[in-house]
Structure 1
Amino acid sequence: MKLPRFGVEEWLNVHEKSAIYDIAGVSIDSLTLDELFDLTGTDAQAFFKELAHKKLNYGWIEGSPQFKQAAASLYDHIKPENILQTNGATGANMLVLYALVEAGDHVISLYPSYQQLYDIPRSLGAKVDFWQIREELNWLPDLDELRQLIKPSTKMICINNANNPTGAVMDEPYLKELVEIAKSCDAYILSDEVYHSFSDKKVPAIADLYDKGVSVNSLSKTYSLPGIRVGWVAANRQVTDLLKDYRDYTMICAGVFDDMVASLALDHRDKILERNQKIVSRNLTILQEWVASEEMAELIAPVHVSTSFVKLKVNLDIEDFCLKLLQDYGVLVVPGNRFDIEGHVRIGYCCSTEILKEGLRRLSQCLHN
């Protein structure tokens, strides 16, 4: 099993600590514990008293009953026993691919998307075909192209919805058509759903639409808690039972403290979502106003999702430009070549408003200098 370097994560690992204005990350402005307690009306003293009396053993291996119930309530047709807690969505994707994909399988992956979704299947010996996103389709892929890629032997279709890096969203009619295509060859659909759309467009989970749909999610992006590293898989009972066997090889548990924080957040998700909807709406307006005033930038707006993909009119290779932007102006974005698309940058616009405004101002300075 040989994996290439993870382009986006490698870039962030090397550069994010040196940035003054980090507009590369795509979580919605991360919460502190104090902010989480205030937002949810939690008595901090009571929370820590409960934690202090808990044994720091392995805890609930698949996630506590409270966590599994709260995560299951996000879906229409998923029961708590069909939720498996993981080490973030990264751990969830790894678990599903490790368990379901074998050498010689045919896998179709949305491209570009999160790099796990195509490079892990390839490392396992699968034949992977790319289902390309299209700028002319507002960064969605063409379903007719998928029909041409499908084979009777296709084992899995991998998507992330909303898309990373573009923020494009497959809505309910689109997903239902995708499911019909998958049914034609009895393929699984693995859907990384960590990016929540705050628009009015309905975006159901793939696990609710399709019996062989596997939904992956986490607390990192939508719920502003990447620091606790908690995610989950939602799937039918047959898939969940299979994943349990493989999960023993990939992780034991997420941890007692992490489970407590995750359960608290999901139990009060309405408060967090209300807070984060305001951040997305406010900051997306700032980003769009900047693009409208900046002659050297273009944007197909994300569907109220925390990631955006901005086209820049620069003569340099985009990675060289981004290095100059960081070194001379202190601003971090992700160069589009890390997604195999030149001339674009990923901007995580749901950071603090002050950082976003100053980061965009300095980005304009760099563009014009």
Structure 2
Amino acid sequence: MVKIPAFEVEQWMDTYENTPGVLNIAETCASSISISQLAEFHSKSKDGSAPPVIDFSRPMTYGAIRGSDELRRNIAALYEGGDDHAAGALAPKDIIVTPGAIAANHLVFYTLIGPGDHVVCVFPTYQQLYTIPETLGAEVSLWRLKAEDQYVPDVSELERLIKKNTKMIVINNPNNPTGATTPRAVLAKVIEIARKHDIIVFSDEVYRPLYHGLPESDIPPSALSLGYQKVVATSSMSKAWALAGIRLGWIASRDKGIIEQLAMARDYTTISVSQLDDQVARYALSAEVRPALLRRNIELARTNLALLEKFVQDHADVCSWVKPTAGTTAFIRFSQKNGKPIDDEAFCKDVLDKSKVMFLPGTRCFGHGHDFNGFVRIGYVNGTDVVQKALENLHAYVAEHLS
């Protein structure tokens, strides 16, 4: 039997997120919207001519096995405007729809990685991205991101980590938990190294395109758009699109062989996704809805990040961070006045108990044997009222216990 270690982020969320009166700033999705609210983002909603989100007259068959053509066309449109003009536009055939990005990520590893393989994975990141290949028998080397580098990967370090049996390089852009962006120039170097060694690049892009802290000219393209066939990217409707409840994600790759391998393996776990979910996702990603929905989420991120930045500045004697440029999460270090980092797990539990504010401990949820003592992950793109109240309560706690 495969021994699977606890998925610490999910275990922590499951344990504490239903605490009575909780102010949940551990949540990593842009503040979720209802189906009724989604309909209001349609460009024709004001004159009453917008179509319904769901066609309830459709028979509930399995539908298109890999995802409806319309949905996959709308997903493909998310990758337009990249640098890889020679490859042409991403097509529906390059995309497989899955039950969330978590299933997409698992399918990529399950299909492409096994015993004897070596995987390089950025770190810290979502635990699934390094734990699953380990459980499949692969050796995993962690490519450490450093605060002094603004959590931008050091490509010279990647060169040193590559081995003869390296099968895959795993990146996460924008990064969870730091909210950092890997710039285009660095992505291009990663691709160059992968091409040189014939290595698959797996890019978890679940927080793309929520780039709220960068000028337009500095927003990097998807790794899919940099001219290398052996790139696999995953994403979902949860984080940047505020629709976690429909449980819909996808895998995209220009490599036909990889896509066909993934589709064949997927037959053992998923026939098709819910046809209701498919309809909601294709509506949300349509040209008539997508721009307004993304604008709402980016504006929410900017508003709330300003609140969090003020909190960090007001408590600079016990708080430090690298300010996020994208995504929904920040990785913040708390310390005592003498500079000694707090015990982050005990801190999170005590804050929740005394102030009802919930966030995640860095060492337990992102440590993987490494020291993130004092670090907590805060999700700040939930409702502004929740963020404001949580930070007010946290301010009072810090004033009493860390001063």
TM-score (norm 2): 0.88
Measure, in 1, the Cα distance between the counterparts of 2:10 and 2:107: 19
Q: Give yes or no for the alignment of 1:240 onto 2:263.
A: no
2:78 maps to which residue?
Answer: 74
Q: For residues 15-54 of structure 1, what are the structure 2 equivalents within 5 Å?
A: 15-18=16-19, 20-40=22-42, 41=44, 47=52, 51-54=55-58
Shift of 1:44: 10
- Alpha-carbon contact 1:103-1:125 (below 8 Å) kept: yes
Find 2:347's aligned residue among 321, 333, 349.
321
Secondary structure of the residue aligned to 1:108 is strand
Q: What RMSD over aligned residues (CA atoms) do the two structures have, in Å?
A: 1.6
Identity level (%)? 36
Q: Which amino acid aligns with 1:10?
A: Q
Q: Which moved more, 1:34-43 or 1:92-101?
A: 34-43
For residues 302 and 44 of structure 1, what CA distance do their matches in structure 2 show?
A: 39
Q: Which amino acid in the other structure matches residue 319 of structure 2?
A: A
Structure 1: runs of 5+ lacking an equivalent: none
Taking a change above 3 Å as real, the CA distance of residues 44 and 25 of structure 1, as seen in their structure-2 partners, is farther
Q: Any conservation in 2 of the 1:95–1:250 contact (CA below 8 Å)?
A: no
Q: Secondary structure at the match of 2:141?
A: strand
| Alignment-mate amino acid for residue 301 of structure 1 | K
1:324/1:346 CA distance change after superposition, 3 Å: same
Structure 1 residues 121-270: aligned runs within 5 Å: 121-196=133-208, 197-198=211-212, 199-200=214-215, 201-209=218-226, 210-236=228-254, 237-267=256-286, 268-270=289-291
Alpha-carbon deviation of 1:46? 5.6
TM-score norm. by structure 1 comes to: 0.96
Which residue in 2 is equivalent to 1:350? 381
SS at match of 1:250: coil
**Cα distance change on mapping 1:46 and 1:305 into 2, 3 Å:** closer
Q: Which amino acid aligns with 1:57?
A: T
1:60 to 60, 64, 71: 64
Q: Quick check: 187-196 or 295-304, which moved more? A: 295-304
Cα distance change on mapping 1:281 and 1:45 into 2, 3 Å: closer
How far apart, CA to CA, are the structure 2 residues paired with 1:195 and 1:342? Answer: 25
Aligned residue for 1:362, secondary structure, equals helix
Question: If each structure's helix is expressed as a fraction of its own residues, which one has the higher value?
Answer: 1
1:332 corresponds to which of 358, 369, 383? 358
Cα distance, 1:45 vs structure 2:
9.8
The whole-number CA distance in structure 1 between the counterparts of 2:169 and 2:376 is: 26
CA deviation digits over 1:101-154, x for unaligned, max 9? 011101111111111111111111111111111111112232111110012321
Distance 2:90 2:110 in 1: 22
Deviation of residue 52 (structure 1)? 2.1
The number of residues matched between the two structures is 368
Q: What SS does the aligned partner of 1:17 have?
A: coil
